[in-house]
Amino acid sequence: MPTYKYTAITREGAEQKGNVEAESLSAARRKLHADGAYPLSISESTGKNPLFPSFSLLGRQEFLPLLTRQLATLVGAGVPVVSALHSVSSQMEDQEGRRVVVALQEAVSGGTPLGRAIESHPDMFPELYASMVRAGEESGMLSLSLSRLADHLEDQARTKNRVRAALTYPVLMAVVATLVVVFLLTVVVPKIVGVFTHLGRALPLPTRILIAISDVFAAGWWVILILLATGIVLARRHLATAKGKRSRDSLLLRLPLLGRLAHLSALSRLCRTLSTLLAGAIPVDRALRIVAPVVGNVVISERIAAAADRVVEGARLSDALRVHAEIPPTLIQMVAVGEESGKLDFILAKMADAVDGEIETRLSRLLSLLEPIIILMMGLVVAGIVVSILLPLLEISQIVR
C-alpha cells in the first residue's frame, strides 16, 4: 500500500507532519480527516526529501492548485482567511508567490474582500479564479468554492501533464531524426559526393539535387537560420493580432486529425469550467462570459459570447447554444436535460469527463500513428540519400568494366 507524506493542521491549530498509508491520495485525505487533521499538502512518498512539495519546486501550473487546496483546507477547518493566507505564505520559498500571497493577506487585513484582492493580481489569478472566490464569499460558502476550484485546477494540471508526457517521446524522435539528417547533409554527404565532381560526366538528377541541398546546408546554414527566425517573428506578430488568432483557430478546427482534438479540448474546457462556475452559484450569462476566453479557441469563444447575449435576452442555455454548428447536438441535449432536472452543473461535469475520455482515446491513437510515421519519413529521407550516392557509383562501375 502506498505511503503518503503530509503536512496538516490539527483541531488545536498546530502544524503536524508525518506519513500515512492509504490506497489512494483521496483515501489518505479521508483518513487524516477522520483523525481530526486537516491536510495542507499530501504527496506520495518516494524516499527522498523534502518531506512535502515546496512552492519553490513547483511551476505556475502546480502553484495555483496547491495554493487553492491549502486555502480550502484551512478555511474549511474554520481558520480565518487572514490566518490561512499567513499560514500558506510562511511555507513559500518562491519569492514572487510569497509576495502575492502576502499582498493578499495585507489587503484582507485592511477590510478588502478576498475576491476583490485577487482581482488586483490578474497576472497570477485568472478571471475564473476571482469570480469563484467572489461568489463563495457572497454565498457564505467560500471553503466549498475554493475546494471546487482546487478540483478544477488539479484536473486541468493532470490533463496537461498527461498530454505533455505523451508527446515527449514522439517529439524527441522528431528532433533526433532532424539532427541525423542535418549531420548527413552537412558532414557525410559532402565528403562522399565530392569525388563525383571530377568524373567529367553528367551526374544523375537525384545526385545533383542531393549535392545542391548539401551545399545549401553546408554553406548557407546561417541564411536558413535567419529565414527561420524571421518567419517565426512574423508569425508570432500575426498570431498576436485578433485576426491572426481567429485564422489560426479556424484552420486548426478544419485539420483532419488535430482539428477534432482541438474541438474536443475546447468543449472539455467549456463543460468543466462552466460546471465549476454554476456550482459556485454564478449566473449563467456571467459564467458564459468568463468561460469564453478560457476555452482556448477564438472561434468557439465567439460562439459562447453570442450564446451569453442570447441568455441575457431570455433564451435558455440549450436554445442559445443550439444555433451554433461548433456545439455538438449531444452536448446541447445534455444541457437541456440538466436545465430540466436542475442539475446542470452535475451534467456538465459528467460531459467533461466523457469528452476527456474521448480525447485520451484519440490522442493515444494519434501518438501510436505518429511514431511509425516519423520512422517512415526518416527512412525515406535516408534511403533517398543512399540512392543518390549509389547511382553515380553504379555508373563508375560500368565505366570500369
Residue where a domain terminates, one of 81, 112, 140: 140
Q: How far is CA 176 from CA 71, 216, 328, in A?
A: 44, 21, 40
Q: Are 161 and 302 in a shared domain?
A: yes
Q: Are 128 and 166 in a shared domain?
A: no
pLDDT at 44 (0 to 100): 64
Q: Are 183 and 318 in a shared domain?
A: yes
Q: Are 120 and 187 in a shared domain?
A: no
Q: What percent of the chain has pLDDT over 90?
A: 3
C-alpha cell at 45: 512518498
How confident is the model over 158-169, as pLDDT tens digits? Answer: 777 877 777 788
How confident is the model over 182-203, as pLDDT tens digits? Answer: 887 777 777 776 666 666 667 7
221 within 8 A of 229, measured Cβ to Cβ: no
Domain of residue 298, residue span: 141-401
C-alpha cell at 260: 477534432
How confident is the model over 32-82, as pLDDT tens digits? Answer: 878 777 776 676 664 443 333 445 444 555 778 888 888 888 888 888 888
CATH number at residue 221: 1.20.81.30
Least confident of 114-118, 132-136, 249-253: 132-136
Residue where a domain terminates, one of 92, 125, 140: 140
Q: Are 211 and 315 in a shared domain?
A: yes
Instruction: Pick from 31-45, 124-138, 228-242 the range whose average pLDDT is largest.
Output: 228-242
Number of domains in the chain: 2
Give the contacts of 34 (CB within 8 A, at least 6 positions apart): none
Q: Are 18 and 156 in a shared domain?
A: no
Q: Are 212 and 299 in a shared domain?
A: yes
Residue where a domain terminates, one of 140, 169, 190: 140
Q: Are 340 and 356 in a shared domain?
A: yes
CA distance 170 to 173: 5
Q: Are 114 and 218 in a shared domain?
A: no
Q: Are 170 and 66 in a shared domain?
A: no
- Residue ranges in 240-328 assigned as alpha helix (H): 242-254, 258-279, 284-291, 298-312, 317-322
Give how far the C-alpha of residue 2 lies from the chain's centroid of Cα atoms, to the nearest Å: 28
Least confident of 218-222, 293-297, 306-310: 218-222
Flag whether pLDDT at 399 surpasses 70: no
pLDDT at 401 (0 to 100): 53
Instruction: Tell me the pLDDT band of 326, cut-offs 50, 70 and 90.
Output: confident
pTM above 0.75, yes or no: no
Q: Are 185 and 277 in a shared domain?
A: yes
Flag whether pLDDT at 217 surpasses 80: no
Q: Residue 38: beta bridge partners?
A: 9
The mean predicted confidence, pLDDT, of the chain is: 80
pLDDT at 52 (0 to 100): 36
Element (H, E) at 359: helix 344-400
Q: How far is CA 93 from CA 45, 89, 150, 316, in A?
A: 21, 9, 21, 48
Q: Are 225 and 312 in a shared domain?
A: yes
